[in-house]
Amino acid sequence: MFPLFDFSLKLNGFPMKEAKAELQKIQAVPEQVFETFIENKKLEIVDYHLKNNSSYKKLFGKTPFTTWNDLPIMTKKDFQKPLIERLSNGFSLATVYVNKTSGSSGDPFIFAKDKFSHALTWANIINRFGWHGINFNSSYQARFYGIPLDFIGNRKERFKDFLTNRFRFSIFDLSDKVLEEFLKKFETKKFDYINGYTSSIVLFAKFLQQKNIVLKEICPTLKVCVVTSEMLFEEDKILLEKQFGVPVVNEYGASELDLIAFQNPEGEWQVNSETLFVEILDENNTVLPYGKEGRIVITSLFNKAHPFIRYDIGDIGILDEKSTPKKPILQQLIGRTNDIAILPSGKKSPGLTFYYVTKSIIEDDGNVKEFVVKQTKIDTFDIEYVSKTELNLEQIQKIEAAIALYLEKGLVFKFIRKEKLERNKSGKLKQFVSSLTPTLSFGEGVISK
């Protein structure tokens, strides 16, 4: 088979041969000297941007660079200015890869990567998917993602799907009638793997559960399912593996950076240490040891076109105590810093705690297909849900009692049944939304990946 995927990347000017060679070289660095190797890469990228990027130099200030911990923490707000003002010397909009973040954090921005840096991203993704027997040049993907609805954007995305050997299931309408059409595609096409947003794939699995169908029995070529962009709860993973009949792999990434963590064949959420440096910081920007919960802060070690140095991605997580510099393990991804619920008592809790507690009750009988929790006031929450029938009083009382037990008493809930839930432009479903602006603190609740 002609390597169409590799060819499409080469056609776009990404030096894949050199990037794959660089990745192999990094992976060959022995464990005992890997920390020194990373320290050198960190200093190289800082030195490069201080010399070649006026935007980063201005952010850094006039103080001479002495230690890593003195470097400023970058946030999305630092990128709320024209991209041309943020590019390093020697790069132009015509010579870099340009894209836009999804805006799921509330602060979308346009970013750039130099062509080699982006090629390294793809080399890394190809490597990780290869752990599970997926070859992008030959493996056929069932893609559960959004798609632009305008004619030109739609055609462009469909052409990319053709070049990258994938069939896209548009997730903006997930009614039973549409899911039935999805199922027919699996009966007629030889898919090797599923890839896409967690909530949409879970909804498809629930549809299969209702019909008592195991997907691999009607699509025997299916090998694995890779979920991304949204939280994967343990009970959902069990459901997916049961209804699909294949292993489920958890992916964590960011378009502006790279693949951040990917579940390896041993079931560990292995952090990308080849092209990124990942730190966990507390609210005072102090580096926390392995096993402690804090803000995920990431440095892109190869992107020369645009600085991402000690960049606060807006997520909260924990690196496992068994992590090493060469093989960090993401123990838990707890949620986003802007998904913190402030309660009347002053307590702050990850909003996903509400979602998790409610989920454990609301889906017991299979009536509710999906739901979101929205905090509208300090003591008031809307629970919007899609179901065959309305929640009854007993179910509502159980949810209120569970939340009072796990969080606190006196909270007010409004249950709103809807035909379908609102997703953002890319098709993601935000499971918890707060209209309040919290002040972040840590250690008050954990949702396991």
The strand pairing partners of 383, in sequence order, are 373, 415
DSSP 435: S
What's the sign of the alpha-carbon dihedral 7, 8, 14, 20?
negative
Tens of pLDDT, residues 217-256: 999 999 999 998 877 888 889 999 999 999 999 999 988 9
d(CA 181, CA 199): 18
Question: Average of pLDDT values for 429-435?
Answer: 81
Residue 366: the pLDDT is 65
Non-local CB neighbours of 220 within 8 Å, separated by 6+ positions: none
- Domain identity same for 84 and 180: yes
Residue 448: the pLDDT is 29
In one letter, which amino acid is 227? Answer: V
Query: Which residues form the domain of 369?
Result: 343-434
Question: Does residue 196 fall inside a structural domain?
Answer: yes
- Domain identity same for 277 and 356: no
Tens of pLDDT, residues 248-280: 999 999 889 989 999 999 999 999 999 999 999
Count of structural domains within the chain: 2
- Domain identity same for 348 and 221: no
Domain boundary pick from 291, 314, 335: 335
Residue 365: the pLDDT is 61
Domain boundary pick from 335, 356, 372: 335
Q: Is the pLDDT of residue 36 over 60?
A: yes
Question: Does residue 448 fall inside a structural domain?
Answer: no
Residue 204: the pLDDT is 93
CATH of the domain at 418: 3.30.300.30
Reported for 167-170, long-range contacts at CB under 8 A and 24+ positions apart, including other chains, are: 167/140, 167/141, 167/142, 167/143, 167/191, 168/143, 169/142, 169/143, 169/144, 169/145, 169/196, 169/200, 170/145, 170/146, 170/427
When pLDDT is cut at 50, 70 and 90, the band that residue 363 belongs to is low
The token duo for 446 is 């954990």
Question: Does residue 287 fall inside a structural domain?
Answer: yes
Q: Is the pLDDT of residue 149 over 70?
A: no
Domain boundary pick from 293, 309, 335: 335
CATH of the domain at 323: 3.40.50.12780
- Domain identity same for 297 and 328: yes
- Domain identity same for 118 and 211: yes
- Domain identity same for 309 and 191: yes
Using only C-alpha atoms, the chain has a radius of gyration, in whole angstroms, of 22
- Domain identity same for 10 and 135: yes
When pLDDT is cut at 50, 70 and 90, the band that residue 108 belongs to is low
The token duo for 59 is 């952010």
Non-local CB neighbours of 261 within 8 Å, separated by 6+ positions: 250, 251, 252, 253, 269, 270, 271, 272, 330, 333
Question: Does residue 441 fall inside a structural domain?
Answer: no
Phi, psi (deg, nearest 5) at residue 266: -85, 0
Higher pLDDT, 46 or 108: 46
- Domain identity same for 299 and 364: no
Q: Is the pLDDT of residue 374 over 50?
A: yes
Question: Does residue 207 fall inside a structural domain?
Answer: yes
